[in-house]
């Protein structure tokens, strides 16, 4: 699945949605509905980052030998710069809670880590089942 970049993006997006829903319930339970807009804005930037990462990885995987390290660096730097500008714009909006926006954005690396651990465990279980056969 980790070679399937669109599948990785889909699974990561689902994990981000679940984590955002859990945080929404927690914020509502803490009587902080004013932070929801910041959380959703940061989550939207995180989702954009997932989609840009998936697109970049798919493009680089399909390039084969014609891709040199400079092109890889420029592509990843462009993605990083785009996400930084989006996050900067979100943090500049005064109506949004900046801490909630950063927490929403940090759901992306958390979701990628959860997806990676889940996939690794799934492969380990499949390998153990194949060894028993």
pLDDT tens-digit profile of 58-100?
Answer: 877 776 667 777 877 888 899 899 999 999 999 999 899 999 9
Backbone phi and psi for residue 96, each to the nearest 5 degrees, phi listed first: -100, 145
Of 105, 111, 110, 75, nearest to 87 by C-alpha is 105
Backbone phi and psi for residue 3, each to the nearest 5 degrees, phi listed first: -80, -20
The number of domains in the chain is 1
pTM value is 0.84
Backbone phi and psi for residue 68, each to the nearest 5 degrees, phi listed first: -100, 165
Indicate if the pLDDT at residue 1 is higher than 60: no
Domain hosting residue 31, numbered range = 5-132
pLDDT tens-digit profile of 9-43?
Answer: 899 999 999 999 999 999 999 999 999 999 999 99
Mean pLDDT of 42-63: 87
């Amino acid at each position: 699945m980790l070679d399937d970049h669109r599948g990785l993006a889909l699974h990561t997006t689902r994990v981000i949605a679940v984590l955002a829903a859990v945080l929404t319930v927690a914020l509502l339970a803490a009587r902080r509905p004013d932070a929801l807009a910041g959380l959703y804005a940061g989550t939207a930037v995180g989702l954009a980052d997932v989609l840009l990462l998936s697109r970049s990885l798919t493009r680089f995987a399909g390039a084969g030998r014609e891709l040199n390290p400079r092109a890889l660096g420029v592509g990843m730097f462009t993605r990083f710069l785009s996400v930084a500008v989006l996050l900067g714009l979100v943090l500049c909006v005064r109506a949004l809670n900046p801490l909630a926006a950063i927490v929403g954005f940090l759901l992306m690396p958390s979701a990628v880590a959860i997806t990676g651990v889940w996939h690794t465990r799934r492969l380990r279980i499949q390998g153990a089942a194949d060894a028993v056969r």
